[in-house]
Amino acid sequence: MIFGIPKELSDGKDTMEMRVGLSPMGAQELIHYGAEVYVESKAGEGAGFTDENYIKAGANIVYSKEEAYRRADVVLKVRRPQPEEFSFINDGQVIMGFMHLITSPREFIEIVKEKKITLIGYEIIQRKDGTLPIVIPMSEIAGKLSVQLAGRLLESREGGRGILLGGIAGIPPAEVVILGAGTLGRSAARAFAGIGASVYVLDLDREKLDKLSYHTAGMNITTMFSTRHNIEKLVKFADVLIGAVQVPRKRTPILITKEMVKTMQNGAVLIDFSIDEGGCSETSKVAPLGKFVYTVDHVIHFCMPNATSLVARTATHSLTAGAIPYLRIISELGIERALGENKDLARGIYAEKGEIRKEFLV
């Protein structure tokens, strides 16, 4: 089995993607299982991995994106291929990565059909119990990253409220509201509460709220049901509002209206991690020219689809660790047997030999 790792491209709307589809450690593992690995030169540069790192791992360096595609049975991506890459895709090829096809251009889906591509989305590889083994660690990273982002954006020089997240003796901490009690929301809640912020987490799922309460007992975290009434009430005093909402196979629902944003405090921060699936606020957008930080009605918005790219090395290690068990199966069994024998992997199929397998895309 031959794996190709091209250098990631920007989609023209946000910052350059700094992550890479496989770390040198991952390349070494696959080669140990008998695979060949071809890496486009400087593909790992943004994450701090040199060509020499890959060579030492046993991988082959190629000097064009086209060759990384053309040589491969399986192309390992972080994000779905961009238009500049479409012509490099081989007929019958396998492509894996975070595809997020619910928001993809129709052109890409037509290419998948035309070239009979087998497309596997990391975001929908799913265990029997419903958990998403590759998404979970990435969501944990995003949750912890939210503290770094919010702290910086709240600074006076950034136009924020000029407050310290954790406060000090005699000065109250920031009020942080998190929509969604999934992995990302829980990770963010623990991180914010850990530095002393006052945290509110909203969700419709009682079990998720119970789980969060159990694992954060003694921390300054309040759980509430995600009703319109509660959201309207909390956004008015939120210093930081985190969108951590995801609905499988659907666009993220709009929970924050333009009217709600207008009621927020001047210099408050809204970080919408749901932007990959459309965003959970009416004011969330992927702005052109990399302007993923912008202001609406005096509220600072952060809407970056590939936010974990800001910590590209950690994110790439995490991505590789999550994907390696499945890549090993593919390497040892071939794609057809692997999809037939591994149910987790089979659930991650968007398309098989050009046939769309997810009804919400038809």
- Point out the residues that are catalytic: 100, 276
Dihedral angle of Cα 43, 44, 50, 53, to the nearest 10 degrees: -110
Q: Give the closest residue to 180 by CA, choosing from 143, 150, 148, 144.
A: 143
Q: In the structure encoding, which two tokens stand for residue 268, read together?
A: 């408050």
Provide the b/e sequence for 220-252 (b: ≥16 CB within 10 Å). bbebbebeeeebeebbeebbbbbbbbbeeeeeb
| Paired strand residues for 119 | 95, 351
Note whether 73 and 1 are within 8 A (CB).
Answer: yes
User: Do the Cβ atoms of 246 and 180 come closer than 8 Å?
Assistant: yes
Task: Name residues whose C-beta falls within 8 Å of residue 10's C-beta, 6 or more positions apart in sequence.
Answer: 16, 17, 82, 290
Residue 106 makes CB contacts below 8 A (sequence gap 6+) with none
DSSP 131: -
Element (H, E) at 17: none
> Residues 133, 125: contact at Cβ < 8 Å?
yes
Radius of gyration of the chain (CA): 21
Residue in 15, 6, 98, 84 with CA at minimum distance from that of residue 45 = 6
Give me the DSSP letters along 105-161. -HHHHHHHHHTT-EEEEGGG---TTS--TTHHHHHHHHHHHHHHHHHHHTSGGGTS-
